Amino acid sequence: MDAIPQASLFLGVIPALILLYITIKGYEGFYKDKVMFLTFVAGIIMGFIAAFVQSFTLAAAIIYVILLSFFNQLFKTIILNIGRFQKNHETPIYGLSLGLGFGSSFTPFMIIAISSIGVRDNNVLLTVGAGSIGIILFHGATGSYIGYGVYLRKLMKHLVIAILLELPLNFLVGLMVIYADPEFLKIQIGLALAIILYGLIIYWYVTKKVLPKLLTQNEKRKRTKK
């Protein structure tokens, strides 16, 4: 029964790495492997810090939903807005890596936090773990979106949108924590599906509508140089 909390780190990191590998296909030459690795690890570290801070605010619903949306996105912005990433076309790719690492930290933290308050039901813990896939998707997408804002020099606009997009997610996650009990398993499953669907929609939009712009913009630059 304790196997799920102990394996929860892998439940977060492995899906994040798979998503990263699948998404960056076709973007070869837009990133360096070393920087990709470092941003992913940085995301994991920052994600653990963010998740730890959030554990103290779950009881205050308004603070959890609003302030932590700002807190989470600001964490990613601090890294992506450093000098070497500004105006660089690869910044959205590194933002994706950073965001996926960031989101992956919430899987083990949520499972361990819920099990530590006495919830030992495997079905509940697995539902929480499954729902956290949506969190990984969401933070990967918003990390890339903020990175795109840094690249365009329109950071504030993209940061504000990312913060607003996180409000519904935090509300759903808060409900999942509140209903973390075998008695409310059906509600838990519904919330997990809603989180996954929401994360999937945001991820699809960024990876299919925003990231491909890098390819077209890069082609335009090549034509201009010629």
- Under 8 Å between Cβ of 182 and 121: yes
Note whether residue 200 is domain-resident.
Answer: yes
Decide if 129 is inside a domain. Answer: yes
What's the total number of domains in the chain?
Answer: 1
In a domain, 24, yes or no: yes
Domain presence at residue 83: yes
Listed in sequence order, the DSSP H helices in the chain are 3-23, 33-54, 61-62, 68-80, 91-104, 106-116, 122-152, 155-178, 185-205, 212-225
Q: Could you tell me if residue 224 is inside a domain?
A: no
User: Does residue 213 fall inside a structural domain?
Assistant: yes
Residue 226, in any domain of the structure:
no
Q: What would the two tokens of residue 87 be?
A: 């105006």
Q: Which residues of 63-86 are buried (b: 16+ CB within 10 A; e: fewer)?
A: ebbeebbbbbbebbbebbbeeebe
Tens place of pLDDT for every residue, the chain, 226 residues?
A: 455 555 555 677 888 988 999 999 888 888 888 899 999 999 988 887 877 766 655 545 566 677 888 989 999 999 999 988 887 889 999 999 999 999 998 888 777 777 776 777 888 888 888 899 999 999 999 999 999 999 999 999 999 999 999 999 988 988 888 888 888 989 999 999 999 999 999 999 999 999 998 877 765 455 345 4
Q: 43 lies in which domain range? A: 3-219
225 within a domain of the structure (yes/no): no
- Can you give the three-state secondary structure of 111-171, one letter per residue? HHHHHHCCCCCHHHHHHHHHHHHHHHHHHHHHHHHHHHHHHHCCHHHHHHHHHHHHHHHHH
Could you tell me which residues come within 8 angstroms of residue 43 by beta carbon, excluding any fewer than 6 positions away? 76, 97, 98, 99, 100, 101, 102, 103, 104, 105, 139, 143
User: How many angstroms separate the CA atoms of 38 and 59, rounded?
Assistant: 34
